A = this chain, B = another copy of it.
Amino acid sequence: MRRRFQASDTVLASFLVAALLLVSGVVGTAMAQEVLPSWNDTAAKTRIMDFVKATTAEGGEGYVVPEDRIAVFDNDGTLWSEQPIYFQFAFMLDRVKTLAPEHPEWQAKEPFKSVLAGDPMGVMKGGEKGIMDLAMTTHAGMTTDQFSKIVTDWFASAKHPKTAKPYDEMTFVPMRELLDYLRANGFKTYIVSGGGVEFMRPMTEKMYGIPPEQVVGSTITTEYAIVGDEPVLNRLPKIDFVDDGAGKPSGINKFIGRKPIFVAGNSDGDYEMLRWVTAKGPSFAMIVHHTDAEREVAYDRNSEIGKLDKALDEAERRNWLVVDMKADWKKVFSFEK
């Protein structure tokens, strides 16, 4: 049965749609849902929501078409905690311990010796070369599939040194809500981190609802090889790209290929990304300022990890929102009472 479509059908269809919405309660449910519930009702929340409303109001002056609604987020210190040490650094130390029985020579050889002696700060003081040795030993020499499994297994068992919680619970609830809120408004959310892309990708979907293809990060070189008759990608001990500082705009350009309109960071490592995203056109930038010594850690200008100095100085002048974790967030972690 197929009838010709007539004007009276439109009226009937409209009526049916309206009836359907009322019956199922869709309208009521959508309107009842609170936006950014873990944010206090301070200026920070208002500024974020004002920007999202402006970019999504069709016909409005600040309207941005959905395909240009790209939002980028730093990871360490912006989406998940980075104190007392970067998660990937903790992974590296644990990995050395796991591999140590196969390498008796490490007991007498730096930087492995410091790691095995439980002295991570000693390792960091050993400088860049030592850390690079550790990174390459623990991040290269296996296939991409094998590394993905190593990372997944580590996240399933490792515990944060301060909270004793699994690392995947160490994400900031208000930031996860912000990701959800942006996505609900047609934004495509990306991570743009100095961390290794293959260290983050196995976890980002579960932790943030961000799929692997929306994770930009530092990379090491991989090499195609045939093992038996099976093609694999081997991870070589060679840095391919460092997605930090001035590297972040290049990383965004390379991986995403268009300029975001929303950016969130927390340290001077995000400074160039903040500058580049906010250079022209409608845009919004925010800095997560770690001000809460009680619920997390308070640090900025003098921290060895996540130093925030230059970006903080310029924030007001450049109209970047500085989020005060203590004042602006009701909650930091999901496990808080």
Interface residues of A (CB under 8 A from B): 1-3, 5, 9, 12-13, 16-17, 19-20, 22-25, 28, 67, 70, 144, 188, 197-198, 201, 205, 211-213, 215, 219, 221-224, 226, 230-231, 233, 240-241, 246-247, 249-250, 253-258, 272, 275-276, 279-280
B23 pairs with A2, CB closer than 8 A: no
| A215-B257 CB under 8 A given contacts A24-B13, A249-B224 | yes
| Chain B neighbourhood of A215, CB < 8 A | 257
| Chain B neighbourhood of A67, CB < 8 A | 205, 211
Residue among A219, A233, A253, A257 facing the most chain B CB atoms (10 A cut-off): A257
Which residue on chain B has the smallest CB distance to residue A216? Answer: B255
A5 pairs with B25, CB closer than 8 A: yes
B22 pairs with A20, CB closer than 8 A: no
A222 pairs with B250, CB closer than 8 A: yes
| Chain B neighbourhood of A28, CB < 8 A | 2
User: Given A70-B213, A233-B249, 10 other A-B contacts at CB below 8 A?
Assistant: A13-B24, A16-B16, A16-B23, A188-B213, A197-B257, A201-B257, A213-B256, A222-B249, A222-B254, A230-B280
**Please, could you name 9 A-B residue pairs with CB atoms under 8 Å apart, sorted by A?**
A5-B24, A16-B19, A198-B257, A212-B257, A222-B249, A222-B250, A224-B272, A231-B276, A233-B250
Which residue on chain B has the smallest CB distance to residue A229? Answer: B279
Please provide the 9 A-B residue pairs with the shortest distance between their CB atoms, ordered closest to farther. Answer: A212-B257, A224-B246, A231-B276, A231-B275, A16-B20, A222-B250, A213-B256, A201-B257, A2-B28
Which residue on chain B has the smallest CB distance to residue A258? Answer: B212
Say how far A195's CB is from chain B's closest CB, in angstroms: 13
Residue among A22, A221, A222 facing the most chain B CB atoms (10 A cut-off): A222
| Chain B neighbourhood of A276, CB < 8 A | 224, 231, 233
A1 pairs with B17, CB closer than 8 A: no
Which residue on chain B has the smallest CB distance to residue A19? Answer: B16
| Chain B neighbourhood of A279, CB < 8 A | 230-231
B25 pairs with A2, CB closer than 8 A: yes
Provide the bound-state CA to CA distance between A323 and B253, in Å. 35
| Chain B neighbourhood of A257, CB < 8 A | 197-198, 201, 212-213, 215
Provide the bound-state CA to CA distance between A144 and B275, in Å. 16
Provide the bound-state CA to CA distance between A12 and B215, in Å. 44
Say how far A194's CB is from chain B's closest CB, in angstroms: 14
Say how far A254's CB is from chain B's closest CB, in angstroms: 6
| Chain B neighbourhood of A19, CB < 8 A | 16
Residue among A3, A205, A221, A255 facing the most chain B CB atoms (10 A cut-off): A255
Provide the bound-state CA to CA distance between A66 and B279, in Å. 36
Provide the bound-state CA to CA distance between A257 and B249, in Å. 20
Which residue on chain B has the smallest CB distance to residue A17? Answer: B20
| Chain B neighbourhood of A25, CB < 8 A | 2-3, 5
A144 pairs with B253, CB closer than 8 A: yes
* The residue from B22, B255, B258 contacting A255, defined by CB atoms under 8 A apart: B255
